[in-house]
């Protein structure tokens, strides 16, 4: 069973049952869910691809390779056969599409966060209104499904993920920062705890995560800010809780990663 970096947080969350579905009744199957704050599904896998799209709230999908976050109007692509958990700390409206593996257009190695375009959003909305056993063949419903799959294949991938190292001691330090994003840990302090030089730790961090220490820490802090903002925390409060000394620095870093300011992303 994978050990995910958020495990300590889940102790106070309510477990949500994994939906039982032996097979897909059609090439694409839709599920609409209203998730309560503080809910999570235990580790599970599907024989099909899952695309989970957040209409509101922030979805967190956690795997052994890392964590993937979908703010409103983004979605997480989960390959078939991949162990994962889905977590929501605030209330969320989720639309999930289950898709046959043979219709998948992404690799099967890891999750991806995709930006949902207005057209894809409307297609998902329309598809969710169809009956489970919608007509196949040359029906309008089947043509809608094909257009939907074509649009999903064209969605842009974004970097709302947090890769985790496999090195046990480095993973333990990363978990600490995920649980306490406001701590002002330095590369030198981590190097001392691992009994290595800063240069060695820099190389190890890059090799294990694909990111620099500073880049990984900033992404961890910004991703942790999503739930605070979704729950209604002010920008200044969120910035301080996530280790930023100034609101302006936080807003600049936030826009650099998400392409929007906190106010724009969580506009009422």
Q: Are 261 and 224 part of one and the same domain? A: yes
Highest mean pLDDT among 1-10, 144-153, 168-177: 144-153
- Does residue 102 lie within any of the structural domains? yes
pLDDT tens-digit map of 234-264: 999 999 999 999 999 999 999 999 988 998 8
| Domain count across the chain | 2
pLDDT at 8: 47
Helix and strand numbers, DSSP H then E, in the chain: 9, 12
Handedness of CA 52, 56, 228, 205 (dihedral sign): positive
CATH number of domain containing 96: 2.60.120.280
Q: Are 58 and 130 part of one and the same domain? A: yes
List Cα–Cα distances, 24 to 48, 99, 135, 209, in angstroms.
8, 8, 14, 35
Q: How many residues does the chain have?
A: 268
CATH number of domain containing 171: 1.10.10.60
pLDDT tens-digit map of 171-195: 888 888 888 888 888 899 999 988 9
**More confident site: 14 or 149:** 149
Q: Are 81 and 109 part of one and the same domain? A: yes
Compute the average pLDDT of residues 190-204.
Answer: 92
Q: Are 66 and 139 part of one and the same domain? A: yes
Q: Are 117 and 196 part of one and the same domain? A: no
The whole domain housing 225 covers: 165-265
Please choose, from the candidates 218, 225, 178, 171, the residue with its C-alpha nearest in 3D space to the C-alpha of residue 194: 171
- Does residue 259 lie within any of the structural domains? yes
Q: Are 140 and 176 part of one and the same domain? A: no
- Does residue 2 lie within any of the structural domains? no
Q: Are 70 and 93 part of one and the same domain? A: yes
> Does the reported pTM lie above 0.75?
yes
- Does residue 147 lie within any of the structural domains? yes
pLDDT tens-digit map of 51-81: 988 888 888 888 888 889 988 889 999 999 9
Asked if residue 231 has pLDDT above 60, the reply is yes
SS3 202: helix
Last residue within a domain, chosen from 158, 192, 212: 158
Q: Are 52 and 121 part of one and the same domain? A: yes
pLDDT tens-digit map of 76-116: 999 999 999 888 766 778 888 999 888 877 766 788 999 99
Asked if residue 218 has pLDDT above 90, the reply is yes
Asked if residue 43 has pLDDT above 70, the reply is yes
Q: Are 118 and 186 part of one and the same domain? A: no
pLDDT at 14: 63
Asked if residue 232 has pLDDT above 60, the reply is yes
Handedness of CA 222, 176, 206, 44 (dihedral sign): negative
Last residue within a domain, chosen from 158, 188, 220: 158
**More confident site: 36 or 197:** 197
- Four-CA torsion 247, 248, 250, 253, nearest 10 degrees: 170
Last residue within a domain, chosen from 112, 131, 158: 158
Contact 119, 84 (CB under 8 A): no
Q: Are 179 and 66 part of one and the same domain? A: no
- Burial (CB < 10 A; 0-12, 13-18, 19+), residue 175, is middle
Please choose, from the candidates 122, 45, 123, 116, the residue with its C-alpha nearest in 3D space to the C-alpha of residue 85: 45
Handedness of CA 81, 112, 253, 120 (dihedral sign): negative
pLDDT at 71: 87
Asked if residue 4 has pLDDT above 70, the reply is no
Q: Are 119 and 222 part of one and the same domain? A: no
Percentage of the chain lying above the pLDDT 90 cut: 45
Q: Are 111 and 142 part of one and the same domain? A: yes
């Amino acid at each position: 069973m994978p050990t995910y970096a958020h495990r300590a947080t889940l102790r106070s969350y309510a477990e949500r049952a994994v939906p039982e579905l032996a097979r897909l009744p059609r090439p694409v199957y839709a599920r609409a869910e209203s998730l309560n704050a503080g809910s999570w599904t235990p580790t599970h896998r599907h024989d099909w691809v899952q695309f989970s799209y957040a209409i509101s709230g922030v979805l967190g999908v956690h795997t052994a390779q890392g964590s993937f976050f979908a703010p409103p109007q983004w979605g997480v692509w989960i390959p078939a056969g991949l162990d994962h958990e889905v977590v929501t700390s605030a209330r969320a409206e989720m639309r999930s599409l289950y898709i046959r593996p043979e219709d998948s257009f992404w690799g099967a190695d890891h999750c991806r966060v995709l930006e949902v375009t207005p057209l894809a959003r409307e297609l998902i909305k329309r598809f969710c209104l169809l009956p489970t056993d919608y007509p196949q063949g040359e029906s309008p419903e089947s043509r809608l499904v094909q257009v939907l799959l074509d649009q999903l294949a064209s969605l842009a991938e974004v970097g709302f993920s947090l890769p985790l190292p496999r090195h046990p001691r480095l993973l333990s330090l990363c978990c600490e920062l995920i649980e306490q994003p406001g701590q002002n840990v330095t590369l030198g302090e981590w190097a001392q705890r691992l009994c290595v030089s800063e240069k060695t730790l820099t190389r190890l961090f890059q090799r294990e995560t694909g990111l620099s220490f500073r880049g990984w820490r900033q992404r961890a802090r910004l991703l942790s800010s999503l739930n605070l903002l979704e729950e209604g925390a002010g920008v200044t409060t969120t910035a301080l809780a996530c280790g930023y000394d100034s609101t302006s620095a936080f807003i600049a870093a936030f826009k650099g990663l998400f392409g929007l300011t906190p106010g724009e992303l969580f506009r009422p």
